[in-house]
């Protein structure tokens, strides 16, 4: 499985849960048979704990899996122990956001809505710095590391096999001055530049778009493997929420489809961004 250690750990958890459900057993029943606690089985199936190859072997023997599946699961367990590039930045990435970065690096598709600020993948260093200063009580060095992480994340948009990034941003994000008017001119230029990539689509939800689903910012992450279902990510001030149930993902997918249907076309969106850029230049 391609992707980051985080994505491999998630895939392993999905496969382990699938094996147990196919057996018709509960976590407690499996744990009892293996002299484990039921909570350990649950942790392995939710990706909350590191899975040792010996754990995989024990589970595969119990479930009587094929040799091929055991080899796959052992490989996932081994690869999930490695650290992604973002771990080198320490506290610049909160633990709850580290999970998102790992999933983002493995995604083949990203659909996002942002109604307050420019999405992180489109931000300039100046814009990102101002947001970091306002949202966290950090030292200058820590803020710089946070900005470096955000800029590093953006490299996935120009990778050899980049994800498709489709974002809907509210018009207010273009007019909300973060930093100075001159820095906003550069920020809007950056959006236009990235929107020129074949894998990036930007739409603006204008003030006169009418009513739309009442939701805060969110991102739907899709993955190349059919076995890896989409996940919805919502971020708060001190934590985040990951929604993986089919019902939740479907609800947010419909909300995003509604938003992009109401938004200006990509071409008209770029025109509005250019017009707003001129207003900031005056």
pLDDT, one tens digit per residue, over 216-268 is: 899 999 988 877 889 899 987 766 788 888 999 999 999 999 999 999 999 99
Residues 156 and 103: beta-carbon distance below 8 Å: no
Three-class DSSP labels, 110-143? EEEEECCCCCHHHCCHHHHHHHHHHHCCCCHHHH
Kindly report which listed range (79-88, 127-136, 240-249) carries the lowest average pLDDT score.
Answer: 79-88
| 242 and 185 fall within a common domain | yes
| 91 and 226 fall within a common domain | yes
pLDDT score recorded for residue 69: 83
| 71 and 132 fall within a common domain | no
CATH of the domain at 47: 1.10.260.40
Query: Cβ atoms within 10 A of the Cβ of 52, count?
Result: 14
H-only helix segments in the chain: 5-23, 27-33, 38-46, 53-63, 67-79, 95-106, 125-135, 140-153, 171-175, 181-195, 246-262, 266-281
Domain that holds residue 22: 5-79
CA separation for the pair 118, 169 (Å, rounded): 7
- DSSP summary character for residue 86: G
| Residue 268: partners with Cβ closer than 8 Å, 6 or more residues away | 204
């Amino acid at each position: 499985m391609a992707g980051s250690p985080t994505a491999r750990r998630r895939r392993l958890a999905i496969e382990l849960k699938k094996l147990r459900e196919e057996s018709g057993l509960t976590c407690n029943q499996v744990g009892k048979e293996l002299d484990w606690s039921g909570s350990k089985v649950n942790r392995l199936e939710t990706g909350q704990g590191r899975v040792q190859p010996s754990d995989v072997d024990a589970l595969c023997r119990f479930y009587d899996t094929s040799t091929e599946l055991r080899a796959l699961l052992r490989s996932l367990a081994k690869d999930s122990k490695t650290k992604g590039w973002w771990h080198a930045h320490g506290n610049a990435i909160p633990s709850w956001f580290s999970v998102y970065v790992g999933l983002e690096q493995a995604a083949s598709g990203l659909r996002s809505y942002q109604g307050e600020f420019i999405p992180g993948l489109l931000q300039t260093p100046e814009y990102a710095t101002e947001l970091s200063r306002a949202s966290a009580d950090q030292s200058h060095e820590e803020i710089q590391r946070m900005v470096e992480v955000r800029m590093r994340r953006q490299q996935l948009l120009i990778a050899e096999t980049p994800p498709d990034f489709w974002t809907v941003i509210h018009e207010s994000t273009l007019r909300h001055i973060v930093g100075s008017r001159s820095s906003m001119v550069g920020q809007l230029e950056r959006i236009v530049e990235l929107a020129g990539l074949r894998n990036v689509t930007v739409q603006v939800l204008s003030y006169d778009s009418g009513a739309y689903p009442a939701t805060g910012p969110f991102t739907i992450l899709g993955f190349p493997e059919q076995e890896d279902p989409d996940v919805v990510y919502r971020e708060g001030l001190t934590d985040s929420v990951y929604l993986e149930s089919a019902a939740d993902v479907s609800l947010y997918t419909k909300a995003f489809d509604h938003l992009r249907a109401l938004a200006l076309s990509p071409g008209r969106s770029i025109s509005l961004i250019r017009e707003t850029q001129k207003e900031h230049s005056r």
